[in-house]
Copies of this chain bind each other. A is one copy, B any other.
């Protein structure tokens, strides 16, 4: 193998593939990135056996071939080089890298021993706007469960029709749901539900962040994906990501969304965040409880907390309150996650009673919904 490429292209590609390679002691070759030059294309390839990333970069092939080297070493080294032409050549069991007055040889391993990235059949494609998809991911991914006891909750549910994608996540203490528009091409089933591992979507988020820095066309840009029985293929510009899907049935979360409420509150988001943070300082350690109260006849929200050790705190915020006298106790971290994920100026809170989940949305936002379970007293 003998290729050349601009430092910038190599650096960007290695950043995109670099996250996946960690410290795998059992299978050391997984710490490596594979460089492949074939059929006129230069590709950087990485996998952790669950996710595979293939990033095509611009460059010139003098001699086809492939090789693998430690991902961290080559990334660290390439990112130090000036943005000039870099020559890369496999020689015996080493990769020679030259650029102007810099010269290095990195020991590597044969590409034949590198795991094969699975292929996903490309029929029936979904397309989403990158800007909308990015936003949607950021609004649901934090509510995914970290516990392996219910494996289906460690992913994000994608409910796909041919016009709309509904993303949902829950760790059973809170739930987030977001709807965005999709376009489809080719043959796809009318409705389909898949569960995508949170780790896969975190990789997608990282790739989108790097892509943005590289003047990726974020607003006009589209991301496409193909779904097979147990795999998804996501295409972002010149980068392809393949991941397994989570098998299992996602719980029917619709039944825990309250269909009516007794009290609705409209409140300024920035003020609410400040008051939640103030109350968090005095919330009982371990429980993270804070109180939300909406007393009858006052257009006020009272956010408060009491700690027997450190003291107590109360903030009275102006709010538009409709309905009956009401209150609820919630974990401030879960509440804050939801309020932070909404970017409307005002937040709408819907409460039934102190034993029923409360619903949080942007004031005029029909597409995003966040639910926090109450802490029963």
Contact = CB atoms under 8 A, between A and B. Distances in A.
A314 interface: yes
Contact of A105 (B104, B275, B311): B311
A25 interface: no
B70 A102 contact: no
The quantity of this chain's copies bound in the complex is 2
Contact of A103 (B77, B95, B314): B314
B311 A73 contact: yes
A107 B310 CA distance: 5
Interface stretch (A164-172, A276-284, A349-357): A276-284
Nearest to A108: B311
A254 to B, nearest CB: 37
Nearest to A103: B314
Nearest to A280: B76
A76 B310 contact: no
A313 B95 CA distance: 12
B104 A70 contact: no
Contact of A281 (B77, B95, B274): B77
B107 A317 contact: no
Given A101-B315, A101-B316, A315-B101, A106 B310 contact: yes
A32 to B, nearest CB: 12
A27 interface: no
B106 A311 contact: yes
A308 to B, nearest CB: 9
Interface in A73-123: 73, 76-77, 80-82, 94-95, 101-107
Contacts of A282: 73, 104
A26 interface: no
A80 B317 contact: no
A309 interface: yes
Given A101-B317, A317-B101, A80 B278 contact: yes
Contacts of A103: 313-316
Given A278-B77, A281-B76, A104 B316 contact: no
A312 interface: yes
A70 B310 contact: yes
The 8 closest A-B pairs by CB, nearest first: A106-B311, A104-B313, A101-B316, A107-B311, A103-B314, A105-B311, A80-B278, A102-B315
